[in-house]
Chains A and B, each alone.
Chain A
Amino acid sequence: MDATVSPLRVALVGVPNCGKTALFNRLTGSRQKVANYPGVTVERREGERVSAGGRVTRVLDLPGTYSLNPTTLDEAITRDVLLGRLADAPAPDLVVCVVDAVHLPIGLRLALEVKRLGLPMVLALNRMDVAKRRGVKIDAARLAHELGVAVLPTIAVKRGGADALIEAIEPSRWAATRRLPSPAWPETTAEDAEQLQADVRGILAAVGYTAPAENDLGKRVDVVLLHPLGGLVVLLVIMFVMFQAVFSWAEAPMDWIKAGMAALGDWVGAHMAAGPLSSLLVNGVIAGAGSVLVFLPQIILLFFFILALEDSGYLPRAAYVLDRWMGFVGLSGRAFIPLLSSHACAIPGIMSTRTIPNWRDRLTTIMIAPLMTCSARIPVYTLLISAFIPNRAVGWSNLRGLVMFGLYVGGIVSALLVAFVIKQFAGKRQYSPLMLELPDFQWPHGGNLALGLWERVKIFMNRVGGIILSLMIVLWFLSNYPAPPPGATGPAIQYSFAGQLGALLEHVFRPIGFNWQISIALVPGLAAREVAVGALGTVYAMSAAGDDVAAQLSPVIASGWSLATACSLIAWYVFAPQCLSTLAVVKRETNSWRYPLIMAGYLFALAYLAAFITYRVVEAWA
């Protein structure tokens, strides 16, 4: 391809948490996840920028790294891209080295390493607003002179904060240096490392760098948050308040959605002639997808809290506090962020284990990530809690919120126990100290929060409108056909494909208290956990005479199931690996079928055992 018309390939490189992704979003108009902690980007991301003249710049956002001598997989990706080692990606035409102006010494070291590769480079001096506020002085012109590259002050989170950089990466400016051969990897010795450090000190002195003023309030807060015991108490209180709020505040909007779905079902039923199409819409689509949609307010609230904590800079502190406790079960504190991400979805959590340098620690974290309570479990838990737990106050808290908190804690405790068992089999782990840069505290950025919430809503709605809706329609068909034989006395669904399948599965699940309706719902629930709620909605709509089962699933199961069955189903969902995508990602990340198969096997065994014990104990007690 002609170098003058092919896109200019620009790579963003920098230490973790220096604002590369925020800059990437600013340059490309993209909406990638940004958070105030290191290790958010674990893969390269690619976006395009089209200039006014129609010229295309392809921007690569690379995982943060402190050095080009990588210790983790995500850091290796950065090095390999710069060296043009990946088969489908030659070395970039231009490197934008992003340096946090507040912590210039850390970024400068990497900038010098990158410069030695000989690739065309500009330096983005990011977070200049914070640097000025904290009294950091940098002579940018002198820095440009010392490095021999253009130095451009940027404020990635501010509109217009990267205009100078946008102008600097205009493709026409770099036409002469396009498609250089990939750089060679320079072997580095201890003397080279010392020389690099000396060069950094020399440049810092030359540019008149003054370290940022100490943040006294931040230090005082850290005394509490980083205290081995105090920090743990604060973490538990934050989680507790979070789940209380999720249950209390979401009640009203959930009622509105329920009422809306019931009204829609009534309206469709009243305006259509009775027949298969009306039944498909009312009992399949509205009852199935509607019963999942109800949980949107709770998901939004939960993610509001998680995103606010991410943006504030609290999460690395929580990782630090938990490092010691996680060490008891053979995990490193670095596992905290992947495990926390798994509360949203195990897939990004498993992918972010790439930041864990030790393979054994990484594998343990991957194996326990599905035990974290992901957002797909929320509809199942909420449905069962609403049906079986009375809505009453316990002291100043709510009983339902307490149970939900308990389920989250239960997931975490189970994960730690499994990690402990793995530790016994895997032997003594190689000690790898936790090294985390604690970011400055900041108020959560409204734009980031809104963007993060919008992304979660989009993902949830895409699932409801895509896989959940499609599965509900298929399940409706399986629940309706074939028609009951002449003279049949039972409900029609018992004679359908779904009824026959449920009757077969019931033999397997009867010992743990599941009836045939639950057994049917578990099958489409294999695709994604939350589908099970929609499936229950459809199955009960087909087997009951009620008009608005979509809105009334909770009372229907409350009257039809025993407490032991409900508890058993909850226990099942704490452990069951009911997510094919998670198993596929484990296969991809471990490059082997062995680990996803082990994972599926041990989680199913645990789920069955836990459900069996729960069912028997509750039945005996009740």
Chain B
Amino acid sequence: MCLRYVYGFLIQVLEESLVSTIARHLGKASGFSCQPWLSVDIADRHFGSVYRAWFATTLNPQLNGSSSNPLVVYQELDRIVHTNDFNHSRVDQLRVRLSRWISSSSLSSVDIASLLAEIASAPVLAFRPILWKLDLSKIHVTRLISLGQFPDEYQVSDLIAGEIQTMVP
């Protein structure tokens, strides 16, 4: 009798851990994320196509700031690239973010130095936006990092291709 309860409890725990996805946790099936092409390209070349990305659970989250709104970021980057606006502060910000990400990564210092030079000299076109839709039902909740600055802003640092659908390449 006692063993049955123990087995039942273990099976319940196992089932919950297996199905505890971000979709279930947040009550949303999809996430939306806007990535500059260069970061995706670096991840493809140096991190085995494992992506670090923040996302929101709606395309246009009204309560997030502009910098955490995938639609606004997409529009902004698209315009920057279209007009080759190399002085735009968003381009500088992306160069800084990508450089910081690379600096703290596990890559060798030779690769880090080479990538820092690459990011610093990349043309505006390298920052063209790619819009992703994430399948949150495929991502276990333990991989979720809440950033906390805005209500609908989350991060996953180990996304793989099967969890991503490219909406706008």
Check if A and B associate: no
Chain A residues close to B by CB (< 8 Å): none
Binding site for A on B (CB under 8 A): none
